Amino acid sequence: MSETARHTTPRLGHTLRRQELTFNKYYVSLMTNEQAIQIVLENKDPSNAERLAAMYACDDILESDIDVWLSKDVSEYLPQFPDIAESLVEDLLKEDSISVERVANSLTEVSRSMYHYVRFYETLSSYDIALSER
């Protein structure tokens, strides 16, 4: 199994445990928003893709709360990334001497950030499950 496939394949154990912890269709995390954000920031590398993913993960956690963020499937959050790419291209095309290479590299970084966003989601899910098993 490829590295990417291992990180993006849903884990049945996580799903079953999460269902056990669900009450009235709302998941109750044992982690605070601040703890979740700290974990994201501690697990990011300095690459542009990971910084972008961390920024959006932290924003989404603060906007919806960690309980809601973890209760939804990560795929519900991914549609924002094509919007980010589109906005980025619009901004880049406003520059006078933009190269095709720079546009391509920027779009590649946005694509990579989707992978890192999912990885952050999985990391927080794992931490949260570990906390719930104590």
The residues spanned by each domain of the chain are 11-132
pLDDT tens digits for range 103-113: 999 999 999 99
Top-confidence residue, 120 or 2: 120
Sequence-ordered list of residues with C-beta below 8 angstroms from that of 72, at least 6 positions apart, any chain: none
* pLDDT in the model for residue 29: 67
Rounded average pLDDT over 9-30: 45
What is the pTM assigned to this prediction?
0.74
Buried b / exposed e across 68-106, counting CB within 10 Å, b at 16+? ebbbeebeebeeebeeebeebeeeeeeeeeeeeeeeeeb
Average pLDDT, the chain: 81
Q: In this model, does residue 74 exceed pLDDT 60?
A: yes
**3-state SS assignment for residue 23:** strand
Q: Please count the helices (runs of H) and the strands (runs of E) in the chain.
A: 7, 2
